[in-house]
Amino acid sequence: MSITPQELELLMQEVEKEDPIDFADLPFDEHELRGLISNHLCEMADAMETFSDEDKHLTLLAVAAKLVLENMVLNIQLLRRHGVPLSDTTEALLQRLRRKD
């Protein structure tokens, strides 16, 4: 892979400047968590070395989509658990999805 886990970790921190992650009171070191994830993603990228460029792109897009969906679901669950109302945008999206049933 053309990026090391350490370089990826630095890029993650750059992205977080615009959209910080709230680690709250998790009993884990933020740096260690970033290292774990960057190592995993670099290993995943290395495993795709034989993939065509299109297959790499599609795989990374699928992984990103899954993670965004998972993040949205976890955030909605957390808000509901604490009785926090959803934003108008989120509520409108969920209403639109409910109407498709």
The reported pLDDT for the residue numbered 4 is 96
Q: What is the pLDDT of residues 13-48, one digit of tens each?
A: 999 999 999 998 899 999 999 999 999 999 999 999
Question: Which string of DSSP letters, residue by residue, matches 28-82?
Answer: S-HHHHHHHHHHHHHHHHHHTTTS-HHHHHHHHHHHHHHHHHHHHHHHHHHHHHT
- Expressed as residue numbers, the domain containing 63 is 52-101
Residues 67 and 99 in one domain: yes
Residues 31 and 56 in one domain: no
Residues 38 and 79 in one domain: no
Q: Is the pLDDT of residue 94 over 80?
A: yes
